[in-house]
């Protein structure tokens, strides 16, 4: 599941998301393994980030649910093992999930040029 989490983080970065953070949640909660946190500058960008993630995984994964698309201040995409939170700057500051889950490990997110999409990683290829 870490490969999926990193793939989602990369998809968010591809849409110019800021402060992309991967939290390893499996030791803290039973309902998911990872949280992905990402910030878009505007509601239009948060929607584009969420759409980029959904489109990027469409061939291999469907979310259990998506919430917040209409307002686009905080969009939640639930892939069960990985839960994605796409915020505007104000919403991210208000909800402060990093502070709430400050004791969980962070997973390093590779730069866009270094990442291998999850479907290629599963096949064991890098190009």
Judging by beta carbons within 10 Å of its beta carbon (0-12, 13-18, 19+), is residue 43 exposed, middle or buried?
Answer: middle
Say whether pLDDT at 100 is over 90. yes
Choose between 121 and 36: higher pLDDT: 36
Picking from 29, 15, 121, 13, the residue whose alpha carbon sits closest to that of residue 82 is 29
Residue with the two structure tokens 């064991």: 124
Structure confidence at residue 82 (pLDDT): 98
Residues 6+ apart with CB under 8 A from 57: 7, 8, 11, 79
Q: What element of type H or E holds 112?
A: none
State the pLDDT confidence band at 127, using cuts at 50, 70 and 90: very low
Is the overall model pTM greater than 0.85, yes or no?
yes
Residues 34-81 have pLDDT tens digits of 999 999 999 999 999 999 999 999 999 999 999 999 999 999 999 999
Domains and CATH numbers, the chain: 2-109 (3.30.460.10)
Answer yes or no: are the C-beta atoms of 49 and 61 closer than 8 Å: no
Answer yes or no: are the C-beta atoms of 6 and 115 closer than 8 Å: yes
State the pLDDT confidence band at 112, using cuts at 50, 70 and 90: low
State the pLDDT confidence band at 25, using cuts at 50, 70 and 90: very high
Cα distance between residue 42 and residue 31, in whole Å: 29
């Amino acid at each position: 599941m870490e490969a999926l989490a990193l793939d989602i983080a990369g998809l968010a970065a591809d849409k110019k998301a800021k402060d992309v953070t991967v939290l390893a949640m499996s030791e803290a909660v039973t309902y998911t393994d990872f949280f992905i946190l990402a910030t878009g500058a505007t509601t239009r960008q948060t929607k584009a980030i969420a759409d980029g993630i959904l489109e990027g995984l469409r061939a291999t994964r469907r979310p259990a649910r998506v919430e917040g698309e209409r307002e686009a201040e905080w969009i939640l995409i639930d892939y069960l093992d990985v839960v994605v939170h796409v915020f505007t700057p104000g919403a991210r500051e208000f909800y402060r999930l990093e502070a709430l889950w400050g004791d969980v490990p962070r997973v390093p997110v590779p730069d866009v040029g270094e990442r291998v999409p999850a479907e290629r990683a599963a096949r064991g290829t890098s190009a």
